[in-house]
Amino acid sequence: MSESKSEDKVIHIALAGNPNVGKSVIFNQLTGMSQIVGNWPGKTVKKAEGKCKFKNYIFKIIDLPGIYSLSTYSIEEIISREYLVEEKPDYIINVIDCNQLERNLFFTTQLQMLNRPMILALNQYDVLLRRGFDINEAKIEEMLGIKTQKVVAVHNRGVHELLEKIIEMEESGKIQNSKPIIFGKEIENEIQRLGSELKSNEILQDDSYSLQFTAFKILEDDEHIKKHLIEKNDNQLDHFLYYVEEKRKNLEDFHGETISTILNSEIYNIVNHIYEESIIIKKSSRSFKVRNFFDHITVHSIYGYLILAVVLLGTYLLIFNFGNMISGSMDKLYENLTPNAEHTLGGVDNWIYILVWNGFVGGLFAGVGGVLPFVIPFYFFIEILQDIGYLPRAAYLMDRFMHRIGVHGKTIIPILLGFGCTVPAVSACAIMETENQRKSSIIISSMIPCSAITTIVMGLVFKFRGPWVTLGLYLILLSVIIAIGKILTIFSDVEESELIIELHDFRVPNFKVIMKQTWHRSKEFVYLALPLIIILGILMQIFVEFNLLDWINVLLSPVTEYFLGLPLEIGVYLIYGVLRKELNLVLLELYVDSQGILMDEFLSPIQMIVFTLITLLYIPCLATFVVIRKEAGRKFARHLLFFRLLGATLIAGVVYWIFQFVSNIKPDWTFGYQIAITILIFFLFLYIVVFLIGKFIKHRDKGKRRRSHGFKEFAEIKSCNNCSKFNKCDYKTNSSCNEFESLE
């Protein structure tokens, strides 16, 4: 395997470890811009691979999905295991968070059993020191037989030393495999017996898996290992599997626990011994004590929710006060430049003025001034909250609420992503264990108001109607999401498994990383949405001049004008919003400006709410629809599209007509009181609808069970031809009654 400093020497490396241990940071530090991000073949899980050149070696690096074990319970575990076994990378860099040494070493021991060349990266070493601890690197190397390296990935310390250790092994010709795991006497004897059986009977016919790993997993009753052995063997395997089953049953009967619990306890005993031997306790710093205080208070059952509310409210107020300030400045600049533009470009009726100033420059100002001041700060604050470690705590706090609205606790992760952009939120639903959970999460996360929709809410309702009406609008949206979640639980059961998420220590944000991530998220708007806004702005001016928008608005008028109570001219802007949500407001503002009126003169208060509400609820943007189709299939995407469009229209219409009813009864009330009563009546209406749907479904299911139960009784009575005593004969086991006749 060694070749002295060959110019063309290529080394394949797999980065493996638990979620949120810093694998991706190390991957980014090593590969820089030479990365390819896609999906694993036939899977929805993201695949990141890259390469770097270091000391005359080319390293091809793949960042495996973050997992906690090499079992085959989740798609990520299967992908990582198949890659390590089938692709056989030259080296594994096992990245662990040395602040969570015991939990992370559980995965390390499973990698050890694969008997592959491995390097241990002890990441977040600086945090460990601040917490008042240190780690005996030499002791870990001695006990595990693995070369280790202390790493601070976010500051690029110790990262390239990982490659130097690999080069050292390559050039020395001594490829260091890890030491074999030695279990307790009872389990070790069983694993050695199984290993001997595998070897002597030639059941394990290839070197894909090590003997110890195969014996351990077959004892654990791992389905993937059994399938692998069945593919390589004939009937001789049946006797071996029966032998393993007997050993497994004996262990479970003796310990009174399942085999997985027994084996996991063995691993944790080994891990605990390594931890006690290698960790060094020092005096914790004052800064760590402060961090520890915030760590506890942010997940507190009372203060945690208060802090979450303050963080969310404060973030929104900061973003939109800043956005309104920049947006207002841009509007004034546009207004001040308009007289000069009229003079230079030949007047307001000149085609050059219409296309260049109203279309091109107006679209540019609308995009840069009306959207970017909201989008960029939003992503910036989200990245800060993510980098300091607060977002996982918000997910932890909201887990119980997720279960109450009828979706899996993990759905909080796509929801938090959805506040930035719905596209990655829908993609993140792939973390769900079952198809039903994934589809339910897609439905809920696709309804979360992304930064584009939030821009519309704040640029229209918040700007003209104030914070309380905006809050009411979000309460309507929240009630609809809860209602949909409850309806989903009626149609399909959601497993009540709890959320498992890494709550790493609070840390000082790395603003270099934050700025990179903010730009990475925002550049899609700059490169794609901004040109689209400009092009559509020019087209809109052409359509307005030739009255081409009228027929679209007339076609939609039965819904927009008569059912939703919106102005006739607004229909076409709802269509534009399918491309990008913010186009609804941006192009509408361009139209209103071209008419020489203000937005609050064009739309009444209730029309602003109805327009914003239908934008919140109706068809997701085109990019989101494409991702939904990719993740859940064409049929599901079509059905979701239809029901979102129908549901949004009905809900917005109901709110409008309830308001008309309230305002006619109490015309002397202020708009604030009228809309408050409207929202309360809508809540009652929604509750009644969900209650009736639930009653109908339960009644239908009860009827089905009654009919199926009746058939079952009939089948049991008529099934046995020999027994005259109905339902008294166990025809499956009674040898005297062996003429069982199936009705099928």
Q: Of the candidates 127, 144, 172, which is a domain's last residue? A: 172
Residue 729 domain-assigned (yes or no): no
Q: Of the candidates 617, 642, 665, which is a domain's last residue? A: 665
Please give the average per-residue pLDDT across 359-379, as a whole number: 74
| Composition of the chain by helix, strand, coil, percent to 5 | 65, 10, 25
pLDDT in tens, 262-290: 998 989 899 999 998 888 877 655 555 67
Number of structural domains in the chain: 3
Residue 682 domain-assigned (yes or no): no
Q: What is the pLDDT of residue 659?
A: 92
Most confident among 4-13, 33-42, 250-259, 436-445 (mean pLDDT):
250-259
Residues 190 and 162 in one domain: no
Residues 545 and 441 in one domain: yes
Residues 146 and 195 in one domain: no
Q: What is the pLDDT of residue 35?
A: 58
Residues 78 and 212 in one domain: no
Phi then psi for residue 174, to 5 deg, are -105, 90
- Here the tokens at position 169 are 């092994």
Residue 392 domain-assigned (yes or no): yes
Residues 429 and 535 in one domain: yes
Please give the average per-residue pLDDT across 449-470, as a whole number: 82
For residue 728, CA distances in Å to 711, 725, 738 come to 17, 6, 14
Residues 387 and 489 in one domain: yes
Query: Is residue 126 classed as helix, strand or coil in its secondary structure?
Result: helix
Residues 543 and 618 in one domain: yes
Residue 731 domain-assigned (yes or no): no
CB 441 within 8 A of CB 407: yes
Q: Could you tell me the CATH number of the domain that includes residue 208?
A: 1.10.287.1770
The DSSP letter of residue 431 is: G
Least confident among 31-35, 130-134, 444-448: 31-35
Q: What is the pLDDT of residue 658?
A: 93
* Structure-model confidence comparison of residues 710 and 620, the more confident one: 620
Q: Could you tell me the CATH number of the domain that includes residue 33?
A: 3.40.50.300
R_g over Cα of the chain: 32
Express as a percent the part of the chain with pLDDT over 70.
79
State how far the Cα of 80 lies from the Cα of 72, in Å rounded to an integer: 10
For 716, residues 6+ apart whose C-beta sits below 8 A from its C-beta are: 726, 727
Q: What is the pLDDT of residue 491?
A: 64
Q: What is the pLDDT of residue 318?
A: 81
State how far the Cα of 442 lies from the Cα of 632, in Å rounded to an integer: 8
H helices of 279-419, where? 286-297, 303-344, 351-352, 362-370, 372-388, 391-404, 412-418
State how far the Cα of 431 lies from the Cα of 415, in Å rounded to an integer: 13
Band the pLDDT of 177: cuts 50, 70, 90.
low
- Here the tokens at position 739 are 């003429």
Band the pLDDT of 703: cuts 50, 70, 90.
low
Residues 373 and 447 in one domain: yes
Q: Is the pLDDT of residue 321 over 50?
A: yes
Residue 291 domain-assigned (yes or no): no
Phi then psi for residue 561, to 5 deg, are -85, -45
State how far the Cα of 127 lies from the Cα of 98, in Å rounded to an integer: 9
CB 477 within 8 A of CB 469: no
Residues 260 and 325 in one domain: no
pLDDT in tens, 207-265: 677 888 888 888 888 888 887 777 666 556 777 888 888 888 888 888 888 888 899 89
- Here the tokens at position 450 are 């992304």
Q: Is 460 buried (19+), middle (13-18) or exposed (0-12) by CB count in 10 A?
A: buried
Please give the average per-residue pLDDT across 696-720, as a whole number: 51
The interaxial angle of helices 634-665 and 622-632, nearest 10 deg, is: 130
Q: Of the candidates 647, 665, 683, which is a domain's last residue? A: 665
Residue 569 domain-assigned (yes or no): yes
Q: What is the pLDDT of residue 4?
A: 43
Residues 368 and 461 in one domain: yes
Q: What is the pLDDT of residue 498?
A: 55
Q: What is the pLDDT of residue 718?
A: 39
Residue 738 domain-assigned (yes or no): no
Query: Is residue 607 classed as helix, strand or coil in its secondary structure?
Result: helix
pLDDT in tens, 337-358: 888 888 888 777 777 887 888 7
Residue 442 domain-assigned (yes or no): yes
Q: What is the pLDDT of residue 667?
A: 86
- Here the tokens at position 535 are 């092009």
Residues 396 and 358 in one domain: yes
Q: Average pLDDT, whole number, for the chain? A: 78
Place of tokens 């307005």: 544
For residue 726, CA distances in Å to 595, 716, 739 come to 84, 8, 15
pLDDT in tens, 31-80: 875 555 555 555 546 678 888 888 888 999 998 888 888 876 667 778 88
Q: Which domain holds residue 502?
A: 304-665
Please give the average per-residue pLDDT across 112-130, as a whole number: 88
Residues 432 and 567 in one domain: yes
**Best CA proximity match to 282, nearest among 127, 136, 133, 135:** 133
